Copies of this chain bind each other. A is one copy, B any other.
């Protein structure tokens, strides 16, 4: 085993930091670290924190950290910034600087801005969550902006997902929220002292009443907070605990975890396949196929079949022909 992984397993925070970079960059050492750490995972409560830009996610995350610490829990935070996938992450800068003022050894904060390989963000986030979990944090907060499919996937890796709303955002953002709504376990109305907060709470309550009740009887609560003042945060942590207890009952958490792990296997298999394909597409032998594609003498579907058909068919012709 590598020395870095040994130091990580011994509780060295700098080793954790370096391995998180390896996981983010999808290196072989990063993958190995996750494999070695995996047996120690499954203990942390993984909590997704999502919502539109401007909802106050970072302030709420900080308030949650304080409340959780006051209850003696250790907290790992993974802040994911999709907008930085192209620009390189400037938006997170201020917030991270603020959060890094925590000198508390019971808190670890990490931002992640993986470049936009499809599935890459999910795998990097999943791996990072495993490492934080194995490192021993009681709670792992995963903060994402609620916009794209990638973020929905990341939220799907949480045990409990908080969806933050604020009064006064425009209609277009409401539209996006409608989609994200389906992944929420707890709704948070932040900036609850704003004049139109009551109306937002009413609207959300009506939306919940219109939806299907969940099997197993978890009623999605609406928690009003003013994160800047810490108001409502204790109740929010109580609700997190209630949701975790609800998940633990009747094997619900186990079912969620199984689904997540199987999805992770599929993404890891695909990552390996993508490398395999990329090597072939860049090879000398493929040059003629490129030429045929551009000249419209061969179509992408047929070229793709030639590329992988033989491999997949060789193992099980019946299934790969579908």
Contact = CB atoms under 8 A, between A and B. Distances in A.
Nearest to A54: B172
A254 B294 CA distance: 7
Contacts of A179: 83-87
Given A148-B147, A293-B265, A311 B300 contact: no
Contact of A175 (B91, B153, B309, B310): B91
A312 B311 CA distance: 7
Contacts of A180: 86
Nearest to A86: B179
A12 interface: no
Given A85-B179, A91-B175, A257 B304 contact: no
Given A265-B307, A269-B307, A275-B322, A296 B42 contact: yes
A312 B148 CA distance: 32
Nearest to A289: B265
B148 A150 contact: yes
A125 B293 CA distance: 18
Given A275-B320, A319-B276, A300 B261 contact: yes
Given A179-B87, A294-B257, A273 B275 contact: no
Nearest to A274: B270
Interface in A217-268: 254, 257-258, 261-262, 264-266, 268
Contacts of A266: 274, 277-278, 281, 304
A289 B261 CA distance: 10
A116 interface: yes
Interface in A275-302: 275-281, 289-290, 293-294, 296-297, 299-302
Interface residues of A, number: 84
Contacts of A84: 179
A175 B53 CA distance: 10
A119 interface: yes
Given A262-B293, A294-B261, A86 B175 contact: no
Contact of A293 (B85, B91, B261, B273): B261
A315 interface: yes
A96 interface: no
A296 B148 contact: no
Contacts of A42: 296
A22 interface: no
Contact of A38 (B54, B296, B319): B296
Contacts of A31: 301
The 8 closest A-B pairs by CB, nearest first: A148-B148, A53-B172, A86-B179, A38-B299, A268-B304, A116-B149, A264-B300, A261-B293
15 contacts: A41-B296, A82-B149, A85-B149, A86-B152, A86-B179, A87-B178, A116-B152, A118-B119, A149-B149, A149-B150, A258-B294, A265-B304, A270-B273, A272-B308, A275-B320
